[in-house]
Amino acid sequence: MGVGIIGCGNISGAYIKASRNFPVLDIRAVADLRPEVAAARAAEHGLVAKPIGALLSDPSIDLVINLTIPRAHVEVGLRALAAGKHVYSEKPLGIAFAEGKRLIDAAAAAGLRVGSAPDTFLGGAHQTARQLIDKGAIGQPIGGTAFFMCPGHESWHPDPTFYYDFGGGPMLDMGPYYITDLVNLLGPVAQVLGMTSMARRERTITSAPRKGQTMPVHVPTHVSGSLRFANGAIVQIAMSFDVAGHNHLPLEIYGTEASLIVPDPNNFGGEVKLKRPGSEWEDETVALPYADGNYRSLGVADMAHGILADRPHRASGALALHVLEVMEAFDKSSRTGQVVEMSTTVERPAPIAQSLVNGRIG
């Protein structure tokens, strides 16, 4: 499929490099609001840079990968749909559930598809954890924990302001990785109970080139609470830009027969461990593909194959919309003090093993 990329910031290089693992993806142009940035990225990777309008009007491009900042995801996605292109967005799908739903509804009306990051849950380690749960290795799922906590992104990102602006914050930034993987493992979320806080209303940037500058904080920077899944499992979760360090593992899942350690959902690989009563933690063999590198185009490739074969794709708009509603519910619950019932649901994505040909996606 002919692919165009809109948004040539930090993450675009990872997408372009990873796309070379998937012959179904033919990147035919890149674009950015800043033409010089698009030109530099194109030169770096031997691609063609175009203005955004020219990319959207190019008949050779079937699918647009939207790597703009979160606040622009829906606006750019709607433009791509209006141009007759399928669209795959970086996470989150949008910065509010209502606007995310606009994108999904527009795609349905146009007969086009929407996909969205993260696709890390398709990595071999996370699919191995999914296999273990599906075959009953942990028994009935009871609960779990999900933790991402750090001091913030101003120590490393060259322009971290958007992480603290509307549409940013730890839940919308990192929550998609954790909640998407949890839905992959446990199914849809039914209820959310959350609390949020903002430790500082202004933060100092310590990374180049803006070292020493201050930036305002407009969103909660510490979010915690509980997810009750439709299957009854209850998962405690915390996402924070206010924590110096911690010793929690990223993901643990507990069942009636065993406990399961799932690796960092921001990566495709990692160690998967199982512990049964009376035994030690045991390493589980990760034999499924896409566990040995950064494959941040795997979800796009699966979407392209899905379009060509007329089958559902896994990193779908429906999944991303459900995750967006879950994330938004933390703020709503914090403000009201009430449990928030989800209005959306979604089926667990099919195991990726069902689409492997000679051990790779096909």
Q: What is the per-residue pLDDT across 235-261, written as a single tens digit (0 to 9) for each?
A: 999 999 999 999 999 999 999 999 999
* Inter-residue contact 145 to 217 (CB < 8 Å): no
The alpha carbon of 159 is separated from its chain's Cα centroid by a whole number of angstroms, namely: 21
Helix, strand counts (H, E) of the chain: 9, 18
Closest CA to 105 of 126, 73, 78, 141: 78
Residue 358 in this model has a pLDDT that exceeds 90: no
In this predicted structure, what is the pLDDT of residue 28?
98
Supply the DSSP symbol for 94: -
| pLDDT, tens digit (0-9, with 9 covering 90-100), for 78-118 | 999 999 999 999 999 999 999 999 999 999 999 999 999 99
Mean pLDDT of the chain: 97
- The band of 10, judged by pLDDT with boundaries at 50, 70 and 90, is confident
∠ CA 323-246-209, nearest 5°, is: 80
Strand locations in the chain, DSSP E? 2-6, 26-31, 63-66, 86-89, 114-116, 141-149, 189-197, 202-204, 214-216, 222-229, 234-240, 251-255, 259-262, 272-275, 282-284, 340-341, 356-357, 360-361
Residue 289 in this model has a pLDDT that exceeds 90: yes
* Inter-residue contact 3 to 30 (CB < 8 Å): no
* Inter-residue contact 312 to 348 (CB < 8 Å): no
Sign of CA dihedral 243, 246, 250, 255: negative
Task: With 0.85 as the threshold, say if the pTM is over it.
Answer: yes
Burial label for 23, CB within 10 Å (0-12, 13-18, 19+), is exposed
Closest CA to 196 of 177, 170, 216, 167: 170
For residue 345, the tally of other CB atoms under 10 A from its CB is: 14
Give Cβ neighbours of residue 178 (< 8 Å, ≥ 6 apart): 146, 148, 237, 239, 250, 251, 265
Sign of CA dihedral 176, 182, 185, 191: negative
Report the C-alpha gap between 329 and 237 in whole angstroms.
13
